Amino acid sequence: MDKIKELERKSRARNTAWTVAVFALLVLWAVIVLFPFYWMLLTSVKSYASYNAEYVPKFFTLSPTIENYVQAFTAVPLAKYFVNTIIFTVVTTGLMLIIVVLSAFAFSRLEFKGKNLVFTLFLSLMMIPNELVIITNFVTITNAGLRNSFAGLILPSVTSVFYIYLLKENFEQIPDELYKAAKVDGTSDFKYLWKVMIPICRPTIVTVVILKVIECWNSYVWPRLITDDENYFLVSNGIQTIRESGFGRENIPAMMAAVVVISVPLIILFLVFHKKIMEGVSRGGTKG
Q: Which of residues 136-165 bind another protein (CB under 8 A)?
A: 136-140, 155-156, 158-159, 161, 164
165-168: long-range pairs with CB below 8 Å, 24+? 165/122, 165/123, 165/126, 166/204, 166/208, 166/283, 166/284, 167/100, 167/101, 167/104, 167/201, 167/204, 167/205, 167/208, 168/103, 168/104, 168/107, 168/108
In the complex, minimum distance from the CB of residue 63 to another protein, in angstroms, rounded to a whole number? 19
In the region spanning residues 198 to 217, those forming contacts with another protein, defined by CB under 8 A, are: 214, 217
Under the criterion CB under 8 A, does residue 83 sit at the interface with another protein?
Answer: no
Signed CA dihedral, 209, 93, 103, 156: sign only: negative
Under the criterion CB under 8 A, does residue 16 sit at the interface with another protein?
Answer: no
Q: How far apart are CA 102 and CA 100, in angstroms?
A: 6
In the complex, minimum distance from the CB of residue 285 to another protein, in angstroms, rounded to a whole number? 8
Binding segment for another protein among 63-71, 75-83, 199-207, 262-270 (CB under 8 A)?
A: 262-270
Q: How far apart are CA 247 and CA 255, in angstroms?
A: 8
Under the criterion CB under 8 A, does residue 33 sit at the interface with another protein?
Answer: yes
Contact criterion met (CB below 8 Å) for 237 and 224: yes
In the region spanning residues 230 to 259, those forming contacts with another protein, defined by CB under 8 A, are: 235-236, 239-240, 243-244, 250, 252, 255-256, 259
Binding segment for another protein among 18-26, 70-78, 167-175, 197-205 (CB under 8 A)?
A: 18-26
**Which amino acid, one-letter code, is at 145?**
G
Binding mask 112-131 vs another protein (x if CB under 8 A, - otherwise)? xx-x--x---x--x--xx-x
Residue 139: phi and psi, rounded to 5, are -65, -45
- Closest to another protein by CB, 65 or 263: 263
Quick one: which of 158, 150, 157, 156 has its CA closest to 231?
Answer: 150
First to last CA, the chain: 48
Binding segment for another protein among 64-72, 75-83, 86-94, 263-271 (CB under 8 A)?
A: 263-271
- Closest to another protein by CB, 23 or 145: 23
Quick one: which of 28, 33, 63 has its CA closest to 47?
Answer: 63
- Closest to another protein by CB, 7 or 90: 7
- Closest to another protein by CB, 180 or 191: 180
